[in-house]
Structure 1
Amino acid sequence: MITFKSYLAEKAGAALKKKAEKSGMPLGILRQVYNRGVAAWRTGHRPGTTPQQWGLARVNSFVTKSSGTWGKADKDLAAKVRG
């Protein structure tokens, strides 16, 4: 039997794979950004959001090279993408 938590993890994994293909960024780095977003959700979040939504929003911000993630919070991962 599949649990709701594993279902969400499966959907997030598929979404990350698509974002990696479209952006050309390594899947492993996007997974790290996602995991950081989920961890950040635990320290404070907008009411009604899920950890998965928070993680994917952070990935979206990173992929679009937004200054909040690309230039600050995930600067170390951005450097790895640049090479």
Structure 2
Amino acid sequence: NYLWINHGWMGKKVKYKEEKFKITAIDGGWSKWSPWSICGKDCTHTKTRTCDEPAPSYGGRHCSGKDTIVTNCTGGLCEN
């Protein structure tokens, strides 16, 4: 397909070809894990990650898997 554009200041028509762009889905990717949090009063600590490297866009899939890990710990604020 072509698009005719009339450039009024010159009074002539210029022919431009319309480009069709296909938008590709971008699947999400996980960030690196955060450092472990301080061991809390409940004797657990956590680390997290986010689905933003890259963030899903244009219908791409969200990251699969967990964004948070919680495990038991000792020390810090832990009250054994």
State the TM-score bracket (shorter-chain normalisation).
under 0.3
Larger Rg, first or second structure (1 or 2): 2
Structure with greater strand share of residues: 2
Structure with greater helix share of residues: 1
